[in-house]
Chains A and B, each alone.
Chain A
């Protein structure tokens, strides 16, 4: 899922301090799972903002909503009858949700309330780690299900490099060496032969190097 973390409240306040009617809009998708942008976080942020402005003796109306997803127009459309009552939105969805909100309600000022971080997984309650960089051409089949693009700091395709020491990456003693993990997994699977042939250069045109991406699935189109 897409991981995000709340922006500092001070930063959000700076953006919205001149507005009188604010809608705090959450998303019940990925950002709800990583406890950054779901209904609970909407309630907490709205409460904090109300208290801040009351303290500043500023009258402000703060509405709360959390949509099933902000990255689908159908769910964003649920706001069409009520969004006119506000003069700004703080969206605590991921960057895609914030942009879709701004695109759909183009006359509305939309501010992000979270920093979108990465595509990751839940290691344990409250701990999430990066697992995918959406490079567009998955190579997990040849790397024992561990992605060197996401988990090697250098994103190298033939590792490990000289910076690997005792299974850790040179950038941080807490960061496992992605290629050490791959080696150990392939050893366990009896597939170490994979290391006998170097992996050819990857086609990065499907990644960000190819510019903003678009995905069309004709069978899904109406």
Chain B
């Protein structure tokens, strides 16, 4: 179960903790892409955190589109905490997708060095 080494994991108690600004800052500061890995829908320990995260991810994707950036740089996935191999698979899938999109154009234009991924 290996996943790409260029992924940096930011731990949160629940994806419901992930705010819009966290995703925006990650991209603004140079991350090529961000995915939110939430629990399966209906299985949130805190009831609806993953559903909230899903809406925020959708919002950020729309916002990125409105400023001419690829919305696919931000994505939401749902998997259970016991699915290590699935996590690795998603990480590879996301990395491949981002690689196709190329480097974050904001970073390419000299924005601050990436602090999040």
A residues near B (Cβ < 8 Å) are 8-10, 13, 40, 43-44, 47-52, 54-55, 57
CB atoms of A55 and B67 under 8 A apart: yes
Interface residues in B51-74 by Cβ distance below 8 A to A read 63-64, 66-69
| List of B residues within 8 angstroms of A13 by Cβ | 67
Question: How many Å lie between the Cα of A10 and that of B63 in the bound state?
Answer: 10
Residue from the list B63, B109, B111 in contact with A48, Cβ < 8 A: B63
Could you list some 22 contacts between A and B, CB below 8 A?
Answer: A8-B66, A9-B63, A13-B67, A40-B21, A44-B21, A44-B24, A47-B25, A47-B28, A48-B63, A48-B67, A50-B28, A50-B106, A51-B27, A51-B67, A51-B69, A51-B111, A54-B105, A54-B109, A55-B68, A55-B105, A55-B106, A57-B109
Question: How many Å lie between the Cα of A44 and that of B24 in the bound state?
Answer: 7
Number of cross-chain contacts by CB at 8 Å: 49
CB atoms of A52 and B21 under 8 A apart: no
Interface residues in B12-32 by Cβ distance below 8 A to A read 19-21, 24-25, 27-28
* Listed residue (A44, A49, A52) with the most chain B CB atoms within 10 angstroms of its CB: A44
Residue from the list B24, B68, B109, B110 in contact with A47, Cβ < 8 A: B24
By the criterion of a CB under 8 Å from any partner CB, how many residues of chain B are at the interface?
A: 18
Chain B min CB distance to A221 (Å)? 41
CB atoms of B66 and A43 under 8 A apart: no
Interface residues in B64-103 by Cβ distance below 8 A to A read 64, 66-69
Residue from the list A9, A40, A43, A54 in contact with B106, Cβ < 8 A: A54
CB atoms of A54 and B110 under 8 A apart: yes
Question: How many Å lie between the Cα of A47 and that of B74 in the bound state?
Answer: 15
B residues near A (Cβ < 8 Å) are 19-21, 24-25, 27-28, 63-64, 66-69, 105-106, 109-111
Residue from the list A10, A48, A54, A55 in contact with B24, Cβ < 8 A: A48
| List of A residues within 8 angstroms of B66 by Cβ | 8-10, 48
Chain A residue with the shortest CB-CB distance to B59 = A44
| List of A residues within 8 angstroms of B19 by Cβ | 40
| List of B residues within 8 angstroms of A52 by Cβ | 67-68
| List of B residues within 8 angstroms of A43 by Cβ | 21, 24
| List of B residues within 8 angstroms of A57 by Cβ | 109
| List of B residues within 8 angstroms of A55 by Cβ | 67-69, 105-106, 109
CB atoms of A51 and B21 under 8 A apart: no
| List of B residues within 8 angstroms of A10 by Cβ | 66
Chain B residue with the shortest CB-CB distance to A10 = B66
Question: How many Å lie between the Cα of A9 and that of B19 in the bound state?
Answer: 19
Question: How many Å lie between the Cα of A93 and that of B28 in the bound state?
Answer: 24
| List of A residues within 8 angstroms of B63 by Cβ | 9, 44, 48
CB atoms of B21 and A47 under 8 A apart: yes
Known: A47-B25, A51-B67, A54-B109; 15 extra A-B contacts, CB below 8 A, are: A9-B67, A43-B21, A43-B24, A44-B24, A47-B24, A48-B24, A48-B63, A49-B67, A50-B111, A51-B24, A51-B69, A51-B111, A52-B68, A54-B106, A55-B67
